Chain A
Amino acid sequence: MWWKILLFLVMSAVIVTGFITEAPQKQIGEASRIFYFHIPQAWLCVVAFAMSAFYSARFLKNRKLIDDDYALDTARLGFIFCLLATITGSIFAKVTWGAFWNWDPRQTSIFILLLIYGAFFALRSAVEDEDRRATLSAVYSIFAFVTVPFLIFVVPRMVTSLHPTDSVIDENLKFTMGVQVRSIFFSSLAAFSVLYFWMLSLTMRLNRLKRKQMTGTD
């Protein structure tokens, strides 16, 4: 119970301090405050995807349908965070670059992630048999996850991008944030992550109970 109160306090503190302190990036100014919320969302979008691939791999190893439920749970949450990151990102793009969408490499990457999630759900709806659906979507989820490093690390560095990176890491991959910015950012990152794992554990518990009800055992 205590950690839920703590989470509430940290999240509130992040929102308040994110707006009253100095903007994290001088050149971009006020709009750069989105940094505190947009990056944790994008981060969780990838974490949720990795978790989905993890549960998919566990399903292929142990053949327990509950792992397939978990893979779907985390994919659904990941899709929500992915949508949020896309929307907040395009608002930022409108403010700083003048258009909601202009196929910046980062926008392309997140759009492909959205498509992968969409394809994952489309595949699930196309297979009726439960075991086969679990197997096929697990394989697809892992196969698609293999391409993610290309999307996140390779493509944005191959094509020139307007997306700011210097606010987090500079060219030598060193952190360049001030102490204040850093503490707000990492509090936000931690709070968002806890929120994700909390939501995930709730849906996972729900699925465990459903399975129990269906079979009478685990």
Chain B
Amino acid sequence: MPASNAGLTNKVLAVYVKDLRLELRSRYGLNAIFMFGISSLTVISFSVGQAALSTKVLSALYWIVVFFSAMSAMAQVFVREEESGTAMALRLTTEPNAVYLGKLFFNLSLLVVLVAVITPLFFIFTDAPAEGIVNFLLVMILGVLDLCAATTLIAAIIARASVKGALFAVLSFPILLPVLIVLVSATDKVWAGSSLGEVSKLLQFLLAYVVIMVTASLMLFKFVWED
């Protein structure tokens, strides 16, 4: 049904643009995510910047920075709706799938901006190898997709809980741990000079995880949202 598909696309876009506009007005998410990312990068740079680290340690550090920076702001997209009391209006005017996808794309944009800033700084501050940068970018894009796919539903869950603080990281961590392990190992291999063929199994894992997480989220989101 092309008509309803076009309708969904428009609604997703409307939710996405609304969140983007709100974000540009307050810049809460961007500020939080940048300050967190840059602070942790600085700590890393101060403490180990001069040391010659193995790619294994570097890849672990990189994903720790990205993971915890993401944790600092990704829940905001739903918490904001509940706190300002606009969730009900959104619930009445839009279907759940459009809300989920709109928020998913918003979180994706937030994270893309984060890695776009963090990654060059990471390469400047540490001696991460610049060879194989294209392969690394591919791993990074899959990693960003994985982080968003797994955490957007969790964000919706914790926005409805009465205690929000640390719960987001607590709930997200077990779901994301397999992804983080694979991401660290793939990044390590890519930085150590592996070709894409050698890490293809890991990339398949990351891609499969995105597909499964988004599908499960689409099925479950309406229960969280319309409760």
Segment touching A, from B24-32, B51-59, B205-213: B205-213
Residues of A within 8 A of B173 (CB): 115, 119
The secondary structure that dominates the B interface is: helix
Complex CA gap A122/B158 in Å reads 11
Q: Is the CB of A119 within 8 A of B174?
A: yes
B216 at the interface (CB under 8 A from A): yes
Known contacts A108-B181, A123-B171, A154-B205; decide if A143 and B220 are in contact (CB<8 Å): yes
**What residue in chain B is nearest A149 (Cβ atoms)?**
B212
Give 1 or 0 for each of B151-192: 1 = CB within 8 Å of chain A CB. Answer: 001100110111100010011011101100110010000000
Answer whether residue B18 sits at the interface, using C-beta atoms and an 8 A cutoff: no
Contacting residues of chain B (123-154) with chain A, CB-CB under 8 angstroms: 153-154
In angstroms, Cα B217 to Cα A144, docked, is 11
Is A131 within 8 A of B157, CB to CB? no
- The answer to whether the Cβ of A127 comes within 8 Å of any Cβ in the partner chain is yes
0 or 1 for each of A58-71: is its CB under 8 Å from B? (1 = yes) = 00100000000000
B224 within 8 A of A: yes
Known: A135-B227, A143-B153. A159 touches B185 (CB 8 A): yes
Q: Which of B153, B171, B205, B216 is within 8 Å of A150, CB to CB?
A: B205
Report how far A150 CA is from B202 CA in the complex, Å.
12
B227–A155 CB distance below 8 A:
no
A119 to B181, CA, bound (A): 19
In angstroms, Cα B212 to Cα A154, docked, is 14
- B162 close to A146 (CB less than 8 A): no
* In the bound complex, CA of A187 to CA of B27 (Å): 61
Please indicate the chain A residues that have their CB under 8 angstroms from the CB of B170 in the complex. Answer: 118-119, 122-123
Is there contact, CB below 8 Å, between B160 and A158? no
Give A114-151 as 1s and 0s: 1 = Cβ < 8 Å from B's Cβ atoms. 01101100110011110110011011101110110011
- A140 to B156 alpha-carbon distance, docked (Å): 11
B206 CB, nearest partner CB in chain A, Å: 11
Please give me the residue from chain B that is nearest to A133 by CB atom.
B161
**B205 and A158 form a contact (CB under 8 A):** yes
A150 cross-chain contacts in B, Cβ below 8 A? 178, 205, 208-209
Q: Note all chain A residues with C-beta closer than 8 A to B178.
A: 112, 147, 150-151, 155
Give the number of residues in A that approach B within 8 Å (Cβ atoms). Answer: 31
Interface size of B by CB at 8 A reads 32
Contacts of B154 in A (CB 8 A): 140, 143
Establish whether residues A60 and B167, one from each chain, have CB atoms under 8 Å apart when the complex forms: no
A147 surroundings in chain B (CB, below 8 A): 175, 178, 209, 212
CB distance from A110 to the nearest CB of B (A): 12
Give the Cβ gap from B166 to chain A, nearest Cβ, in Å. 9
Q: A residues within 8 A CB of B217?
A: 143
Residues of B within 8 A of A60 (CB): 223
B153 to A, closest residue via Cβ = A143
Report yes or no: B162 in contact with A144, Cβ–Cβ below 8 A.
no
| Centre residue among A136, A144, A151, A159 by max chain B CB count within 10 A | A136
CB-based nearest B residue for A159: B185
Does A116 contact B220, Cβ atoms closer than 8 Å? no
Q: How far is the CB of A55 from chain B (nearest CB, A)?
A: 14
6 A-B contacts, Cβ less than 8 Å apart? A112-B178, A115-B177, A123-B161, A126-B161, A127-B161, A131-B227
Residues of B within 8 A of A (CB): 153-154, 157-158, 160-163, 167, 170-171, 173-175, 177-178, 181-182, 185, 201-202, 205, 208-209, 212-213, 216-217, 220, 223-224, 227
Give 8 closest A-B pairs by Cβ, nearest first. A115-B174, A126-B163, A116-B174, A126-B161, A146-B216, A135-B227, A139-B220, A127-B161
